[in-house]
Structure 1
Amino acid sequence: MNNSIEIPDCYHPKEAVLICPSTSTPKHTLYLSNLDDQKFLRFSIKYLHLYKKSVSVDVLQASLSNVLVEYYPLAGRLKPSQEHEDKFLLDCNAQGAYFSEAHLNLTVDQFLHASSKPNKTWRKLLFRLDSQSFLDVPPLIIQVNYLSCGGMILCTSINHCFCDGIGSAQFLHAWSQLTSKPNAELSVKPYHIRHLLKPRIPSQISFSHPEFHCHDPSFNVTQFILSQPLVPVSVTFTPSQILSLKKLCVPSLKCTSFEVLSSHVWRSWVKALDLPPFLPVKLLFSINVRKKMRPKLPIGYYGNGFVLGCAETSVDRLALSNLQYSVKLVQQAKDCVTDDYVRSMIDFLQERRIKPDLSSSLVISQWAKQGLEDLDFGEGKPLYIGPLASEIYCLFLPVTGNLHAFTVLMSVPQSIAEKFEHLLVNFDEREGNEDDGKEKLFV
């Protein structure tokens, strides 16, 4: 297991400042859809990008001010709705994004040498505003960290109620584009309106939406995990390793890299935890619905345009079956997401403002395939991209310089970390062809 680098104390030459749009922007209240305003999305997505060469504070702040003209909602603030106190709205008031500058005695090479696993000291790399509630947290916070070698670490925090991973990547690409080419037209214009995903009147809930249903409250896997010391596990899968996983499913089943890797991680997680055999378990993962809606969501839609796919089975079925079984479950979960399904979920959330069931679920968030590894502010692409912290949900991260590789990062109980990593790395390439009766029970 690789070590994680400890971040030294940062020197802040000045107080954090508010960066406002460079010209006047619309002042109005923006509706948040039920996909935006889900309770489980009330946090910020925090990105870390490492660069060999730095860009000056003045240039970054000027380009940020310019891009906030186009993405003016990110300079606003959340506020509660007068009609429903549990519902949030977006006040587009041009109050601004927080921007902080820091310097630290650290080199790019030192960070790269042990950067696969975040630790608590990494939080120094992002400005933290004292706040009493989630509503008080600005939607956009940025800190540029200048390294002693001339490189930089750029950290951004983007409110998940404003946008999903695709939307936040769209904003970051727009910012980088205006930094490297200040006079350029944005390649993708943001689409702000969220009314396209309003609930229907009357509601038409035509699906069961299993991601919200709790089957067995007698054993809470999440509480079991959080009751123990946690450590991050990070494993990179090369294209050849992913191909080996796919070979366990062919010729009877063709699958994508995400389908096979998410299934493999889910099985490994369940096996490592040694859970009760008949316990129901779920795999939850985001499914982009922009092209599944009828009509499709407009190009540039950067709000939350995803729903959670839900694959579910029992511990014993998942552990004893071969990989094809879990891949089929993932594919079935993806296939059921249609325009009707999404509309039904929006209506469901209108009537029941609840969180997904996380009591026995592994949640996977896909950061790869969003172009985050291509974010160029004028001095080259990042050498590393990742989160500021490792959580119990699983991240699929892009690997710089290898488009078809993935890094799996998540925190697990220290007592099972070695077993979990072993299961991830040492999968049995003969598994798909075994004749063992137990293996064939659930294919």
Structure 2
Amino acid sequence: MEATAKNNVLIIERSSPAMVQPEYETPEGSIFLTSIDQVAVVHVPSVYCFDRSDANVVDVIKQALAKVLVHYYPLAGRLAINSRGKLVVDCQNKLGVPFVEAIADCNITNLGDVRILDGDVLGKLVYKEPTQDKLEAAPLLTAQITDVSNMKALYEEQQLVYKSFLFDAEKLAALKRMATKDDQVTSRCSSFVALAAFVWRARSMALNMKLHQQTKLLFPVNFRSRLRTLLPDGYFGNAVAMPCCLCTMGDLIEEPISASVERIKKAIESVTEDYIRSKIDFLDMHRFEGFPTGTLVINSWTSLEHGSTDFGWGEPRFGTGDVSSLTCLFMAEGREKGIMVVLGLPLSAMDTFNKLVCDLNGA
């Protein structure tokens, strides 16, 4: 991995920046800068490396930053030019400090001497705000927290195994009981939602994700019936959206499965016409660059009419192959037999996932 990192193939996945403000109210107005401070305005990128602890690193540093900004409140402001044409720090323009959480595909020790990091690697470890080159809009401080994902190595070092699991009526009923046994959700819970919640949790546990790591669930939702304006006659293009459920592994496994069900139901309900139009605008501006580590994409094919293809030889037995390691398929298993779940996992993770499915028999 050291050679890979030095060849500038370090992969960093960043969250959207959140603006951190001082924990308490701070003075406003502007702060005069001396002529010495007017000479050169530059951003200095720097990397601090620490050994991990069991604490939620992101929350610890974010809270610490909010406390520090009470005393160093000018850093939450922006530069401005006064009536004399001189630079000042505008403390009334409290836009805050951009704070970004990121995940790397290797350990910091694999990058070699951090005192002389390659420019490309440094650029991935230090967040650069898009406005950084605009003097009066650029933040005076940015912060990026990077944790390490070990899933890439798991996929590279172990054989990828594909397996199918039948969730019959009895197992689906057990999942629904688990999903609705408290007051967090209503008694109405579809088979898809209950099964998706279980698979999301079980797969994340099987991959032994760290508690601080983010895990993301995506699934296609047909939005044809959700539009105020009907699609034109003859339209046969794509009409699906991919709403997202996102949380840390710690939240996912510490909360009851009913909470995961609620996350999924809210994601489905979020697919409105406004959501679709916003998504299209976003995709027009940003190129799709693939899914980050820790993502699960569930495609439900249970409603597809595979059995309607009839050449006079009876119903076909439908199959597929070359399923992405990030993808899980839900497939109908005959009439009234249940749902077949198809996915691929590293060998050790598949053993764990299989055990979690077997444990449902006693639920």
TM band (smaller chain) = 0.5 to 0.7
On the 8 A contact 1:309/1:333 being kept in 2, the answer is: yes
Task: Spell out the pairing of 1:333-352 with structure 2 (5 A cutoff).
Answer: 333-352=267-286
**Looking at both structures, which has the greater relative contact order when contacts are Cα pairs under 8 Å and sequence separation is at least 6?**
1
Aligned equivalent of 2:353, options 398, 420, 423: 420
Q: How many angstroms does 1:390 deviate by?
A: 3.8
Structure 1 pair 219–297 and aligned structure 2 pair: CA distance change class (3 A): farther
User: Does residue 1:407 correspond to 2:340, yes or no?
Assistant: yes
Partner of 2:152: 223
Counterpart-to-counterpart distance in 2, 1:299 and 1:405? 34
CA separation of 1:250 and 1:237: change in aligned 2, threshold 3 A: same
The one-letter code sitting in structure 1 at the alignment partner of 2:349 is: I
Gaps of 5+ in 2: 1-99, 105-146
Q: Tell me how far apart the structure 1 counterparts of residues 233 and 169 of structure 2 sit (CA, whole Å).
A: 30
Contact 2:171 2:361 in 1 (8 A): no
**AA at the equivalent of 2:352:** K
CA contact (8 A) 1:244 1:429 kept: no
Residue pair 2:323, 2:343 contacting (<8 A) in 1 also: yes
Gaps in structure 1 of 5+ consecutive residues: 1-212, 431-443
Shift of 1:354: 1.9
- Computed over aligned residues only, the root mean square deviation of the Cα atoms, in angstroms, reads 2.2
2:205 is the alignment partner of 1:276: no
Map 1:306-321 onto structure 2 (within 5 A). 306-321=240-255
Shift in CA distance, 429/415, structure 1 to aligned 2, threshold 3 Å: closer
Indicate conservation of the 8 Å contact 1:249/1:323, yes or no.
yes
The partner residue of 1:258 within 192, 195, 201 is: 192
What's the secondary structure of 1:426's corresponding residue? helix
Q: SS of the residue aligned with 1:385?
A: coil
Inter-partner Cα distance in structure 2 for 1:275 and 1:428:
25
Per-residue CA distance 1:297-344 (angstroms, 9 max, x = gap): 246532111111211111111112221011111111111110000000
Letter in 1 for 2:207: L
Change (3 A) 1:214 1:232: farther
Residue 387 (structure 1) aligns with: 320
1:34-433 aligned within 5 A = 215-217=102-104, 218-220=147-149, 223-227=152-156, 228-250=158-180, 252=183, 253=186, 254-298=188-232, 301-382=235-316, 384-392=317-325, 393-402=327-336, 405-427=338-360
Asked whether the 8 Å contact 1:248–1:429 carries over to 2, the reply is: no
SS in 2 for 1:386: coil
**AA matched with 2:178:** L
Tell whether the 8 Å contact from 1:259 to 1:330 is kept in structure 2 after alignment. yes
Q: CA 1:290–1:278 in 2, change beyond 3 Å: closer, same or farther?
A: same
What amino acid sits opposite 1:409 in the alignment?
Answer: V
CA distance in 1, matches of 2:227, 2:311: 33
Query: Given the two structures, how large is their TM-score scaled by the length of structure 1?
Result: 0.46
Letter in 1 for 2:289: K
SS of the residue corresponding to residue 233 of structure 1 reads strand
- Aligned equivalents of 2:319, 2:260: Cα separation in 1: 27
TM-aligned CA deviation for residue 391 of structure 1: 3.1
Contact kept in structure 1, 2:209 and 2:249, CA below 8 Å: yes
Q: Structure 2 vs 1, CA of residues 345 and 224 (structure 1 numbering), >3 Å: closer, same or farther?
A: farther
CA shift for structure 1 position 243: 1.2
Task: Give 1:285 shift.
Answer: 0.6
1:348 counterpart letter in structure 2: F
Contact 2:221-2:268 at 8 Å conserved across structures: yes
Q: Report SS of the residue matched to 1:369.
A: coil
Q: Distance in 2 between matches of 1:302 and 1:429?
A: 45
**Rg larger in structure:** 2
Distance verdict in 2 for CA 1:327–1:300, change over 3 Å: farther
Matched letter for residue 279 of structure 1: Q
When normalised by structure 2's length, the TM-score is 0.55
For the Cα contact (< 8 Å) 2:151–2:209, is it kept in 1?
no
Q: Give the whole-Å Cα distance in 2 for the aligned partners of 1:222 and 1:339.
A: 36
CA distance in 2, matches of 1:340, 1:214: 28
Offset at residue 410 of structure 1 (A)? 0.7
Q: Deviations over 1:156-184 (max 9, x none)?
A: xxxxxxxxxxxxxxxxxxxxxxxxxxxxx
Q: Residues 236 and 300 from structure 1, CA distance in 2 versus in 1: closer, same or farther, beyond 3 angstroms?
A: farther
Contact persistence 1:214–1:359 (CA under 8 A): no
Offset, 1:236:
0.6
- For 2:226 and 2:101, the matched residues in 1 are separated by 27
Counterpart CA distance in 2 for 1:423 and 1:299 is 46
Paired AA for residue 172 in structure 2? I
8 Å CA contact retained: 2:218, 2:245 = yes
Q: Aligned residue pairs: how many?
A: 216
After superposing the two structures, state which structure 1 stretch, 304-313 or 291-300, moved more. Answer: 291-300
Deviation at 1:424, TM superposition (A): 2.1
